[in-house]
Amino acid sequence: AVGGGGDGGPRGPPRRATTVGASGGDGGSVSGSAGGLWGWYLRMLENYPLLTKATTCALLNALGDVFAQVCVEGAPTFDVLRTVRFAAIGFVLTGPVVTFWYDLLARMLPVSTLGGATSTIASLAIDQLLFAPVCIASFFAIVKVVEGQVDAVVPKLQADLWEAVKANWLLWVPAQAVNFSVVPLHLRTPFVSVVAIVWNVYLSWSSHK
């Protein structure tokens, strides 16, 4: 999370490695049960959770923008700086903020107290009705500001925010239902980052149309 990147607070005594578990908690130490690239990634999540999640978001943000420029927009020249800006937003903003948000939801709406179904439904409702619109509006505003188009922020929000929120619900309501119900807390940001490859293509196109 912001200011600590924690996925469940201070570490206690070493725990036995377990496989990736079901919903709710942080899933325990999982790196010992996987090898290869996936095992390395899980170890990075354990040892450097915030940095790993921010880097994951940055790389997948960049991938979404590359796909948008090359395959959706068919731009005659590739805008490298635009892709760098998208990656920077993922690293500085999206990764840390989303990590903090999922930690906060897990503390506010614990499965152990509310039960799996109630926790999932409440998390999904708060995420999609409160957090998602704020994130989309912030993203549009930040893109315009870093591109030096401060005067375009309000017109952009007036023109495209509602359409973007509706498009967000089509993808993210089912994706987040899966995320909150079966994905362990420490893997929720990476899961969202993978799904967001599709979303980032839309955001990249929508923020520049």
Q: What is the pLDDT of residues 189-198, one digit of tens each?
A: 888 888 888 8
**Which among 96, 60, 85 has a CA at the least distance from the CA of 197?**
60
Judge whether residue 6 has pLDDT over 60.
no
pTM, rounded to two decimals: 0.71
- Determine contact, residues 58/95, Cβ cutoff 8 Å: yes
Q: Of the given ranges (22-26, 62-66, 130-134), which has the lowest mean pLDDT?
A: 22-26
* DSSP conformational letter for 90: I
Mean pLDDT score, 15-21: 39
Mean pLDDT score, 88-104: 91
Helix (H/G/I), strand (E/B), else coil: 76: coil
pLDDT at 28: 46
Between 7 and 44, the higher pLDDT residue: 44
pLDDT at 83: 93
Q: Helix crossing, 80-89 with 188-208: angle to 10°? A: 140
* DSSP conformational letter for 183: S
Q: How far apart are CA 15 and CA 39, in angstroms?
A: 16
- Residues 6+ positions from 81 with CB-CB distance below 8 Å: none
Single-letter amino acid, residue 86: F
The whole-chain average pLDDT of the chain stands at: 82
pLDDT in tens, 138-171: 989 998 898 889 999 999 999 999 999 999 999 9
Tell me the CA distances in angstroms from 87 to 84, 102, 127, 200, one per residue in order.
5, 21, 23, 11
pLDDT at 154: 95
pLDDT in tens, 105-123: 989 998 878 888 898 999 9
Report the percentage of the chain scoring pLDDT > 70. 83
pLDDT at 209: 66
Mean pLDDT score, 32-44: 80
Q: How far apart are CA 49 and CA 9, in angstroms?
A: 12
Between 171 and 27, the higher pLDDT residue: 171
* DSSP conformational letter for 149: -
Confidence of residue 1 (pLDDT cuts 50, 70, 90): very low
Judge whether residue 206 has pLDDT over 50.
yes
Judge whether residue 174 has pLDDT over 70.
yes
**Which among 7, 94, 34, 31 has a CA at the least distance from the CA of 59?**
94
